[in-house]
Amino acid sequence: MPASWRRALTAVVAALAVPAAAQEVPAPTAHTLEVYRNAGSQLDWTDERDFDAAERGLIARYPDAQVLAEDGSVVWTFPDYEALRNAPPPAGVHPVLWRQSRLNAANGLFEVVPGIYQLRGFDLANMTVIEGESGVIVVDPLTSVEIARAALELYYAHRPRRPVTAVIYTHSHMDHYGGVRGVVDEADVRAGRVQIVAPANFLHEAVSENVTAGNAMLRRTIYYSGIMVPPQQRGATGAGLGPGVSNGVQSFIAPTQEIPKPGATREIDGITFVFRTANDTEAPSEMMFYLPQFGVLDIAEVATRTVHNVLTPRGAQVRDTARWWQAIDAVLAEFGGEADVMIGSHHWPSWGEAAIREQLDNQRDFYKFAHDRALALANRGANMDEIAAQMQLPSSLAGQWTLQDYYGTLGSAGRAVFQRYLGWYDGNPANLDPLPQVEAAQRTLAYMGGADAVLARARQDYAAGDYQWVAQVLNTLVFAEPDNVEARALQADALTQLGYQQVSATWRNVYLTAARELRHGVVPIPTGARSGDFLSQMSAAMLFDYAGIALSAERAAGVDLALVVDLAGEQPMLVEVDDGLLRYRVAAGDGDDATTIALSKTTLDALLSRQTSVGEALERGELTVRGDPAKVEKFYALFDPFSPNFNLVTP
């Protein structure tokens, strides 16, 4: 989520949230409680090894219940681990998810081995501190500046205060680098006093993620994160992958070196790192590493203690399960017999060769099974939905606590594998060019006998506990008649029960957020410009790729104009709009007679997103024009700002 939006999002939620007394929060029905009674029958509930491992090496908890920003806003609230340790599941929380949530709540400073420490429970991810010869090496500095600073201060409260000499980003997701300015000063990076090491292609992947489809991804992230779920329904469930995401300022400092594929050995502050890249597995840019001096293997996020997303509900490119299982197998073969401890970017460590092999074997075999089983079913003619329904782990894997659907799900992994290999089309010509959803819903409703008939049947099915079918049928009714209050209310109740029944924290969030919006509407989210840290690293090509997406095809129809855009620090670009299409290339003499503008990347982004106007930018001296100012006005009038306030569960 872009840094400038997170604080605004929290403020909007606080200001516009429906008062607790007015919120309709149904209790779990008898059918949902029956799901709970049968939950996890294949699992060993007497196995306490995870709870022992999650607390092993604890040095200290954070001394306060919350971490605050300079303005007094809450960046993070620590779950009360001691209270949760033996607490029963709250109403509406699946018992299997609740077990994971209690484990994720274990927080504080932990010693992994002498010289390696982890800060866990501060954020979605872990921050690891490795003690070098002259200072400390920070691995994955969390999501936000404030939380990374607070975590490092807890480390310093119990270990010598030595400077940070290096930062390692294991991969290109925000929760592993967004807090970097909380642990280092960029001036020290520029001066060469601090190295920042990342995997191959990190800079491109980290900067470009969330830009081209960023607005749609933000809207879906609101569902995925559960930030809009009413407090009564949150139940301290966390996110499956960790206890949640901190709510502070997100930052970025570019790497000083990227580790080439497939890996390399580097000496960093006297410590030997044996890096192994794992690009195109859990992230497009990712790496693991082994520390022979300590006997510690860092698996990054390639193997976790949950089923991971092969295609995340917030939106991203489909991940490669074939590459994923192979990467785990390769690191297991190379270091499995050598490592004494395995740590990761999430969850708690594994100690001893047997535990390491068990964890890596299980994770490898899950991705191998998801890949092979989905394609086996596809090759027998199954479509995405049929694959998802038929995906079932073999008993040797189904009984593993680390292979439950706390975050991703097995069924969605099957769908994702189908999409990666075969795309969205299932081969049935009826689905090749379907009617738009609203038109199809209206015509389907007429076939079904009208709204009253559908509602009557839906109430019967709801009473029978057939919540998924009720949600699907009433989705048709709501898209045909979006103002039908009864339909919206009953669909919201069905989605609520589906949310209560989820082992996956993120799926739970999706269902409960949708139910809230059906009852109370969309909470408006303010738009904002991108973080300056990211803009400074975006190339001119990245910015103009985004401009082509933001161009209004309707207003640009028939338009033919060209500008030379001189961005500070970049080669001048000739940008052409031609009948609804934007093209760009390096200006090489052919733009000498074109109107030329000079501006910063920040001003360009503000103009494209309509955060400022050409006149305002000229008046403030942020934009200079050589040529026809009217052409510049016409050019920027062709772009549309994106708003994350569009509907998802209603038309």
Residue range 290-334, pLDDT digits in tens: 999 999 999 999 999 999 999 999 988 999 999 999 999 999 999
173 lies in some domain: no
Q: Please state the φ and ψ torsions of residue 102, each to the nearest 5 degrees.
A: -65, -40
Task: Supply 283's token pair.
Answer: 């992230």
Q: pLDDT tens across 602-651, in order?
A: 999 999 988 899 999 999 999 999 999 999 999 999 999 888 899 999 99
Cα four-point dihedral sign 414, 419, 424, 429? negative
How high is the pLDDT of residue 10?
Answer: 57
**137, pLDDT greater than 70:** yes
Whether residue 551 is found in the same domain as residue 597: yes
Phi, psi dihedrals of residue 201, rounded to the nearest 5°: 70, 15
* pLDDT tens digits, 626-639: 999 999 999 999 99
Q: Which of 451, 473, 501 is the last residue of a domain?
A: 501
Q: Looking at residue 551, what DSSP letter applies?
A: B
Instruction: Give the pLDDT band of residue 528 (cuts 50, 70, 90).
Output: low
Which residues make Cβ contacts (< 8 Å) with residue 481, sequence separation at least 6? Answer: 445, 451, 487
Is residue 441 within 8 Å of residue 479, measured between CB atoms?
Answer: yes
Inside any domain, residue 472? yes
Kindly state whether residue 515 falls inside one of the protein's structural domains: no
d(CA 424, CA 418): 8
Q: Which domain holds residue 586?
A: 539-636
Contact 235, 93 (CB under 8 A): yes
What does the pLDDT read at residue 501?
A: 97
Residues 561 and 607 grouped into a single domain: yes
Q: Is 551 a domain residue?
A: yes
Number of domains in the chain: 2
For residue 160, what are the β-bridge partners? none
Phi/psi for 145 (5° steps) reads -60, -50
Report how far residue 463's alpha carbon sits from residue 368's, in angstroms, rounded to the nearest whole number.
Answer: 40
The share of the chain scoring above pLDDT 90, in percent, equals 82
DSSP SS3 for 342: strand
> What pLDDT band is residue 594 in, cutting at 50, 70 and 90?
confident
Residue 554 has pLDDT above 90, yes or no: yes
Which of 443, 478, 501 delimits the end of a domain?
Answer: 501
Q: Measured between alpha carbons, how far is 466 from 474 in angstroms, rounded to an integer?
A: 12
For residue 211, give the amino acid letter.
V
Instruction: State residue 11's pLDDT score.
Output: 52
* In a domain? residue 469: yes
Question: What is the mean predicted confidence (pLDDT) over 371-400?
Answer: 97
544 and 466 belong to one structural domain: no
Do 617 and 601 form a contact (C-beta atoms < 8 A)? no
Determine, yes or no, domain membership for 606.
Answer: yes
In the numeric block, the tokens 């103002």 are attached to 483
**Global pTM value:** 0.94
Give the CATH number, domain containing residue 444: 1.25.40.880
DSSP annotation string for 438-461? HHHHHHHHHHTT-HHHHHHHHHHH
The predicted model gives 422-439 an average pLDDT of 95
Q: Are 122 and 156 in contact (CB under 8 A)?
A: no
Q: What separation, in Å, do the N-terminal and C-terminal C-alpha atoms of the chain show?
A: 24
The pLDDT score that the predictor gives to residue 395 is 94
- Residue 592's pLDDT is 63
Residue 191 pLDDT greater than 50, yes or no:
yes
pLDDT digits (tens, 9 = 90+) for 101-115: 999 999 999 999 999
CB-CB contact of 61 with 107 (8 Å): yes
Residue 292: both structure tokens together: 């022979």
625 and 546 in one domain?
Answer: yes
Helices then strands, counting H and E runs in the chain, come out as 25, 21
CATH number of residue 563's parent domain: 3.30.1050.10
CB 469 within 8 A of CB 460: no
Residue 37 tokens read as 């009674």
- The residues that bridge with 577 in the sheet, in sequence order, are 561, 582
Q: Is residue 295 part of a domain?
A: no
Quick check: 130 and 137 in contact, CB under 8 A?
Answer: yes
- The per-residue pLDDT for 208 is 81
Question: Do both 557 and 491 map to the same domain?
Answer: no
Contact call for residues 237 and 101 (beta carbons, < 8 A): yes
Instruction: Write the DSSP assignment of 315-373 as a string of letters.
Output: --PPP-HHHHHHHHHHHHHHHTTT-SEEE-SSS--EESHHHHHHHHHHHHHHHHHHHHH
Residue with tokens 């196995």: 47
| Residue for token pair 């709970």 | 36
Q: Which two tokens stand for residue 599?
A: 């501006």
Specify the pLDDT at position 134: 98
pLDDT of amino acid 4: 45
| 482 and 552 housed in the same domain | no
Residues pairing with 574 in the sheet? 564, 585
Asked whether residue 38 is domain-assigned, the answer is: no
Other CB atoms within 10 Å distance of the CB of residue 622: 17
State residue 229's pLDDT score.
86
